[in-house]
Amino acid sequence: MSFAPVLHSEWLKIRTLRSLVAGLGAVVLVTAAFSALAGLDNSGDTDFDPMFSAFFGVNFGQIAAITFGAQAMSSEFRGGALRVSLAAVPRRGRWFAAKVTAIGAPALAVGLLSGCVSLAAGRTVLGDRADGMSWGEGLRGAVGCGIYLALMALFAAGLAALLRSGVATLSILIPFLLLVSFVVGDMSGNAADFLPDRAGQVVLHENWDGTLGPWTGLAVTAVWTSAALLAGARGIRRRDA
């Protein structure tokens, strides 16, 4: 079977599962809602970054993105679904590539939509405080938001393929993103800039004093994602369905 029909079948699985479709919708809603709420903060912080404020909701939207990626992949490990998939597509590498594409493409589209909605909502709520952010910077943030959320969804998918469990994947990633990354960041200095979430979110800042730039930060996140996907693909190839 060629790649196109395999991709089509994997896309149908995602499109027909309500929980996955709802997960994609949650990425947009959560990201935009928390970005708008962040814009309401009028505390007058001297380090105020209007661009990051407009995209602040990504901190929470990424939870919905990794949940989508983990669930989309881990659904294959319930009820013998993977055996059926591999019976139809014996070439495991081709199947895994199709699965990853079917997860990454909608995650990217939804991520870009989230970035645009968050930018519009953030600029509206910030009002005059957004004057320091140019439209070029806003566009960079919106595109970077889409790429970052897609990479995090794929990162979770790779880990889910390796661990064969969506619950285990989320049990690792959610505490890491919400707690560990901040604690390590406060204690390790510039070394924390190379963590997948902190590196990728540099693109959402107007100014950043760390080691990485906007696109090099996303490249670091892409390396983490590639490593997770390679590990997941190896697990699929070497272990029984």
Closest by CA position to 36, among listed 118, 113, 110 = 118
Provide the token pair at 9. Answer: 């079948």
Element (H, E) at 52: helix 50-54
Question: How many domains does the structure of the chain reveal?
Answer: 1
Count of CB atoms situated within 10 Å of the CB of 43: 5
Domain containing 27 equals 3-238
This prediction has a pTM of 0.93
Q: Which of 40-44, 115-119, 145-149, 172-176 has the lowest mean pLDDT?
A: 40-44
Q: Are 155 and 223 in contact (CB under 8 A)?
A: no
pLDDT band with cut points at 50, 70 and 90 for residue 187: low
Q: Are 34 and 119 in contact (CB under 8 A)?
A: no
Q: In the prediction, which pLDDT does 232 show? A: 95
Q: What is the pLDDT of residues 107-137, one digit of tens each?
A: 999 999 999 999 998 888 888 877 778 888 8
Is 80 exceeded by the pLDDT of residue 181? no
